[in-house]
Structure 1
Amino acid sequence: MQDRAVRTRRAILVAAAKVFEERGYQAATIAEILQAGNVTKGALYFHFATKEDLVDGVLSAQDAQPALPARDCKLQELVDMTMVQAYRLRTDCMVRAGARLSLDQRLGDAKRTGPFKRWIRVCEEMLEAARRQGELLPHVVPADSAVLLVGAFAGVQATSQTLSGYEDLMPRVSVLLRHVLPSVAQPSVLTSIDLSEERGERVYKEALASWDQPDGFPVEAISDSCDPRVVAEPK
């Protein structure tokens, strides 16, 4: 029963993410989410009392991913995280919905700023680790570079979504990193970093291969989370 409840909750979140991505917070309706998730109104309200609770659930669930493999080069870890995020934007409606909700002016500041602040903090920590290993140029301030990278990625992501529906996101992010990294990385380190467009997919699949099943539902439910039928229970 507990496993079924977890799967039902996941199905509702995936359906909500798909509707939020397509319609935005204001236009999305509970009826559309029920239809997309193939769940009853009672099941939805058992897990989520309001539409805002669904937003909280989607913003939290978008962070569900395996830990990425550690690398000797900390700047490579930063690149891997950035490329994996781009890959997940292309393949996971939960992440795309989170991106749209984070830019929605109708939501409270805490919901919109939270994902940005978390990502900036993680980037700064990675850059600090890179600095301790001597990978950064002497003038680099990790806090400033973290804000720049996150802001630039957000702009590239929005441009890709508008112009191609994320189809060209991977090459755009690769180009972004090729422009940013020479301003922060030691030349000897820069030559060893893999910035290829396929990097995000390779690293994410490497991480998935060693990931234990979270919360009682299979890994494939995460990697193909744009389809609520993967995790939905019958009504």
Structure 2
Amino acid sequence: MAKQDRSVRTRRRVLEAAAEVFEREGYRATTVSEIAAAAGMTKGAVYFHFSGKEELAHTILDEQQRGAVDALLPQNVKLQEIVDSGLVLAERLHTDRLVRASVRLSLDQQAAELDRSSAFRTWTEANLAILQEAGRRGELLAHVDVAATAELFVGSFAGLQHMSQLLAGYADLPQRISVLLHHVMPSIAIPPVLGKLDLRAERGAHLIAEAEARATAAAAGAPPVAGEGSTPDAA
């Protein structure tokens, strides 16, 4: 077990080093030698865990979705879930190097050999599923085109995160996404649902903190931690 834990930690160390270099240099300019140096290990150690920089890049690209799962709880108001996914990702971009690197790779036009469209497709499909269920529950205005709206959220987020990166190093991204949501949600949600939505910029940070508290409590065998994310109707 100790050997397995050490392997997991080493693999994570390689990923974080790769994220640091990809974020700084971009995909094409990055080398395995640079990643090994950033991780403080040999190239052989890197290759023991990953076949090369392409596998590292794809693993980091997957981090956009994988790392947010624990913070995104089912909500009684379905539209709150699409709000939460945007606010949690905004917060993670501000605080998590792997997520920043994944977005850098997604938008890196020099990374032609990577399937950079997968992240956009995955987020669009996830948003579409939420919107379709929201429609079935009667949460949407009659005119809403769910497919177009799902793409609008993804495209708008991509543009705002790039602007935030250049102007503020992602520090203001949660606020920018909150502003977007305050503009878009009134055009798609029926008034009773709109009044229940929590669109605050700080909600993403709260959800992440609660997920971390739940994980800590579970590891210690303590009762689940209740909070903002576990009270779906709280606005």
Q: Which amino acid aligns with 1:22?
A: R
Distance in 1, matches of 2:161 and 2:78, equals: 23
Matching residue within 158, 162, 172 for 1:158: 162
| One-letter amino acid matched to 1:72 | N
Closer, same or farther: CA 109–211 of 1 in aligned 2, 3 Å: farther
Deviation at 1:164, TM superposition (A): 1.0
Selected match of 2:129 from 125, 131, 135: 125
SS of residue in 2 equivalent to 1:63: helix
Equivalent residue, structure 2, for 1:45: 47
Question: Can you give the 5+ residue segments of structure 1 that lack an aligned partner in the other structure?
Answer: 214-218, 220-235
Structure 2 CA distance for aligned equivalents of residues 7 and 82 of structure 1: 29
**Paired position in structure 1 for 2:231:** none
How far 1:109 moved relative to its partner?
6.9
CA contact 1:137–1:184 (8 Å) conserved in 2: yes
Gaps of 5+ in 2: 220-235
Kept in 2, the 8 Å contact 1:69–1:207? The answer is no
Please give the secondary structure, in 1, of the residue aligned with 2:116: helix
Once the two structures are TM-superposed, the CA of residue 212 in structure 1 deviates from its matched residue by: 7.8
The residue number in structure 2 matching 1:70 is: 74
Shift of 1:199: 0.5
Tell me what 1:91 maps to: 95
1:173 — aligned with what? 177
Q: 1:227 matched to which residue of 2?
A: none
Corresponding residue for 1:193? 197
- Find 2:24's aligned residue among 17, 22, 25: 22
TM-score by length of 1: 0.86
2:58 alignment counterpart: 56
Does the 8 Å CA contact 2:54/2:114 hold for their aligned counterparts?
no
Q: State the distance in 2 between where 1:137 and 1:110 align.
A: 38
3-state SS of 1:25 partner: coil
Amino acid across the alignment from 1:8: T
**Helix, strand or coil for the counterpart of 2:196?**
coil
Q: Specify which of 3, 6, 12 is matched with residue 5 of structure 2.
A: 3
Q: 1:128 to 1:212 in 2, by over 3 A?
A: farther
Secondary structure at the counterpart of residue 22 of structure 2: helix
SS in 1 for 2:28: helix
Tell me, what secondary structure is at the counterpart of 1:81?
helix
Contact 2:28 2:111 in 1 (8 A): no
Seq. identity, % = 50
Counterparts in 2 of 1:109 and 1:182: CA distance versus 1, 3 Å:
farther
Q: C-alpha root-mean-square deviation of aligned residues, in Å?
A: 1.8
Name which structure has the greater RCO, CA cutoff 8 Å, separation 6+.
1
Which segments of structure 1 move beyond 4 Å, counting only runs of 4 or more? none
